[in-house]
Amino acid sequence: MEKVIEYYKQFDEWGRLDRQPIEFQVNLHYIKKYLPSSGAILDNGAGPGKYSMELARSSYEITLTDLTPKSVEDAKRKAKEFNLTEKFDGFHVADARNLKVLSNQQFDAALMLGPLYHIQEERDRIQAVKELYRVTKNEGLVFVAFMPRVRHIFTSLQFPENWRPNNSMDAINRFDQTGCFNHLDEGRFTGAYYFNIEDIQPFMESIGFKTIELIGSNVGASLSEREWNYWWQKGEQEKLLELLIEKARDPYLLGSSSHLLYIGKKKG
- The answer to whether the peptide bond before residue 165 is cis (omega within 30 degrees of 0) is yes
Neighbours of 46 (CB within 10 A): 27
Task: Indicate if the alpha-carbon torsion angle 205, 253, 257, 43 is positive or negative.
Answer: negative
Residue 210 predicted with pLDDT over 80: yes
Task: Give residue limits of the domains in the chain.
Answer: 2-148+195-266, 149-191
Tell me: the pLDDT tens digits for 141-168?
Answer: 999 999 999 999 999 999 999 999 999 9
Residue 55: is it exposed, middle or buried by C-beta count within 10 angstroms (0-12/13-18/19+)?
buried
Of the CATH numbers 1.20.1290.10, 3.90.230.10, 3.40.50.150, 3.90.79.10, which one belongs to the domain with range 2-148+195-266? 3.40.50.150
Residues 18-33 have pLDDT tens digits of 566 788 999 999 999 9
Sorting pLDDT into bands at 50, 70 and 90, what band is 81?
Answer: very high
